Every structure is written in C-alpha cells, then in structure tokens.
Amino acid sequence: MESCSIELQYLEGKTIFITGVTGYLAKILSEKILRVQPNVKKLYLLIRAPDSDSAKQRFNNEVLKADLFKVLREKLGANLHGFIQDKVFPVPGDIACDGLGINSELKDDMCREVDIIVNSAGTTRFDERYDTAISINVLGAMHVLKFSKQCSKLKMLLHVSTAYVCGEKAGLILEKPLNYGETLNGGSRLDIDAEKKLVEETLKGLQDGNATEKETTVAMRVLGIERYTIHKNQSIFIDTNMLHGWPNTYSFTKAMGEMLLGHLKEDLRLIILRPTIILSTYKEPFPGWIEGLNKLICMFLPCHRTVDTYIVGYGKGKLNVVVGDRGSILDVIPADMVVNSVIAAMAAHQNPSSQTVVYHISSSRRNQLNIGDIEQIFVDYFKKFPWIDERGNPIKVKEFRFLNSTASLHKYIAIHYMPLLKIMKWVHLILCQHFQAQHIILQRRINHFIRLAELYKPYTFFKGVFDDTNAEMLRMAIRESNADDTFNFDPTTIQWEKYFKETHIPGVVKYIF
C-alpha cells in the first residue's frame, strides 16, 4: 500500500453516496458523518423503495428514528429537521437492478455531484437463497461499479466486504485482492457468468414446473450449498495450512463480488474493507448500540451476529453446548471502529490511483481473543446479572460444554434429547395428542440446535489470523494527524473482558433480548 496521510477536513464539501443504508453498518456510518462533519455537502442514501416518498418514509422510520441517532438529535434539537433536509437525500432504488433502479433525472444529477461511493449493501444470511445472494452480493457490486464509472468527479469506490472471503483457512491471511476466477482449493475454476446462467436456468425450470414459493426457496438454498461445496477441497489428507474452500453462500458470493470489482474496475480507485465479526459500538455515538430485534432473525443470524446468537441463547438458558474448539480464534471488532476505518480510508486515498487496496478490519493479529476466553465472560456475566423470565424468575445458567465435532453433537442429542422426544411421542399418541405442542417445540429446538452448529462451525473452529499491515499503516496516519479520538479503530485499545461485560452484553440484553 502506498503511504497515506489523513486530512481531518477531507469530507467537508463532499458528496457521498452510500448503499445499504437501512443495514447495521451503513446506519452508523451515516450518523458518524453527519455528527462529526456537518459541513459535508450531501449524503445520497440508496434505499430499496418504489418512489421518493417511500424512500423518505423508510429513512425516517428505519434510520433516523433509531436510538443510534439520539446524540445527533440532542445536539441539534429543533434544527435537526432542517439539517437532515439540507444534507440527506434518500434515493429510491435497488442494488439488484441495472442502473441501481434510480430514475434517469436523479441519476444524472448524482453522476455530476458524487465524490465518493460506499457500497455497504449486501445480504449476510449464511444460507441465503442462491439467486438472492448472487443478485445482491455479486451483481449488485457490479451495478455499483457501473454506476461509479459514470460519476465524473468520483475519487473512489469503497466496497465493504467480509474478511471471511478467505474461506476456511489457517495461518496468516494476507490483505490482498482476490484473483478473478480463482478458487480456494487450488483445483477448480470459478466462472461467475456460468453461475449467473445456472441460477437463471434453475429458476426457469422451477417456474415451468409450477414450484411453490416455499419449494423455490428450498431449491435455491440447496443450490447455493451445492455451488460453494464444489470448490471445497474434499481430500481427507488436508494439511491444516492448506486452503479448504468457502464455508457458506454468504462468503462465497461476497468473494465473487470482490472478484468482479477487481476484474472490471479498469482505472477506478477501489478500496476494499474486510471487517471480521462486527459487534456493538465501542464508544460512538455511545457504547453498546446494536441493531434491535426487528432486524434479528434468530434462526438465521448474519455474520456480524455470530457471537450474539450464543449470548441470547445462553443468557435465556437455552444454549450451553457449543460445537467448537476453545482454542479457536474469534476475530471480532466493534461496529464504530469499522465505520472509523471507512472514513479514515476515504480521507487517506485522495490521490488518483488504479491500485486496489485491501484492509482487514480485525483484531486477531494484535489483540487476539479465543472462544475459551469469551465463554468464561458469558458465564461470569449471566451468573451475576441473570436474565429474568416472563414469570419474574432469574434464569440459572450452566457452564459451557464444548463438543469437538458434528458426530459428537449427534451423540449428545441422542443421549440427552432423543429419549425424552420418544417418550413425548408415545404419550402424545396414548393421550390423544395432549403433548403435541411440547413434542413439536422440542423437535424444533433440536433442529435449531443442529442448524446453528452447522452454520457456525466454520467460525467456532477457525484457526486463521488476519494480517492487518495495511490497516496498521492507516492507523499510523491517523496518529500522525492527531485524529485518534475521532477515527480510532485500533484493537489494542480494547480491554475485551471490560468491553463485553460493561458494553456489548448489556447492549445485546437491551436491544435484542
């Protein structure tokens, strides 16, 4: 990476276009820009909506009214409405559409004005429908790139990806762009056009066969699993330092999105940020903010909620068994630090360049946290501050139990759950379906338990360390500019036990429980 410097006033007078603004990270980014740089010229915010009024309504209801904006509301008071009207322009559109679905008149204005584009849109569900993941994470990235090339003043396209495009890898993982068509097992070749065509043909076949929406959803999820599994190294003699492949549809399609951007960008300045598992805010605009329950689908939590799945399940007394390794590396980073890195990267890369720069926004190299470390923090917290159930009784939590394989999980279920399930089934038959509800609940809990273990297994056994040499150079530039307080994303400043016990877990309890 070339040397860089940070000019604190860089965003003054700039017009910034942000996609995915109703998502967790883009909300925090929008709030931070408005709060620390009120002299920004405009924020264009892409919101999936059919028209301007609907886009404004979604912005007001899903973004501006969020608790996240309370500091800005208190700061501006009665002036907030006028300030937002002057600076913020919700744009109706859809990243999955060519031209981003923006009407031609507005698009022309934006292409003349926009200085910086931040693509934060994406579907983060691990087992997303393959057609949905392709249209948003892959083709969506391409649509943003095409739009970027039409912007006459554009300084850079900053694309938010995920560190887990690396797949299931051990050892030091470098900050380098992905090569177009390259797979992680070193054997197969990834043809993105062929993947897109396969999706189209499969959908057509399902439609011609009069498949229901539910049948189509299941088929497209299965297709995603089949496609990323093809590129896994299936050998039983895998060295732990070898590449294994992508663990889910999410990381697979995010990798394809990166490849397309690198392949098609030409001389465009491209910055790729790869955060790891994103947690609640560390300090700004206040500690512990995290997306509320309306954005949390417990069965299918996205990557930045991996840790929170276990916090919720454990605190409510429903989950104390983990399929994983206590020594596995849990790379987490607070959301406001990710946002600080986005703004720092904007300010650092002002000079035209065709070089693609990749940043790992991570903690594993400089302030490593293992699953065993966090396990004890959960136990200590919920023993001291137990969750109170709907009857007013404190939930008593148990010590965590770690299982080292999926086979161990099935054995555990066979011993601890299946006898009770069989008893319920027989009682249910004898007593004329009297225990039907309890039987269904227990079966669902078992299925949910197995599903969580499969979804999160790549992360509960993860042995990789994310190199952050480029990110450290960016942090050095921040220190030299005396901007540490404003744009801090240094993981060494985090005391993990204090952060989890005093900030993150209380935030999860407040906003998610």
Question: In whole angstroms, what is the distance from residue 281 CA to residue 299 CA?
Answer: 23
Give exposure, 433-456, as e/b (b: 16+ Cβ within 10 Å). eebeeebeebeeebeebeebbbbb
Catalytic, out of 250, 310, 381, 511:
250
Half-sphere exposure of 176 (CA within 13 A, CB side): 6
Question: In whole angstroms, what is the distance from residue 4 CA to residue 273 CA?
Answer: 16
Neighbour tally for 136: CB within 10 Å: 23
Write out the E strands in 49-188: 88-93, 116-119, 156-160, 171-173
3-state secondary structure 239-278: CCCCCCCCCCHHHHHHHHHHHHHHHHCCCCCEEEEEECEE
- The structure tokens listed for 150 are 């039409």
CA 387 to chain CA centroid, Å, is 27
Work out the angle between the directed axes of helices 249-264 and 192-208 (0-180°, nearest 10). 130
- The count of residues in the chain is 513
3-state secondary structure 23-53: CHHHHHHHHHHHHHCCCCCEEEEEEECCCHH
Tracing tokens 């993947």 back to the chain, one arrives at: 195
Query: What values do phi and psi take at 445, rounded to 5?
Result: -65, -40
Which sign, positive or negative, has the C-alpha torsion 228, 199, 45, 296? negative
Residue 499 falls in the annotated catalytic set = no
Amino acid identity, residue 64? L
Residue 250 falls in the annotated catalytic set = yes
Question: In whole angstroms, what is the distance from residue 468 CA to residue 359 CA?
Answer: 7
Residue 280's DSSP bridge partners are none
Question: In whole angstroms, what is the distance from residue 376 CA to residue 483 CA?
Answer: 35
Catalytic, out of 27, 32, 155, 254:
254
419: cis peptide before it, omega within 30°?
A: no
Query: Strand 277-279 relative to strand 15-19: parallel, antiparallel, unpaired?
Result: unpaired
Question: In whole angstroms, what is the distance from residue 31 CA to residue 87 CA?
Answer: 12
The answer to whether residues 64 and 37 touch, using CB atoms and an 8 Å cutoff, is: no
Give catalytic residues, as residue numbers. Answer: 250, 254
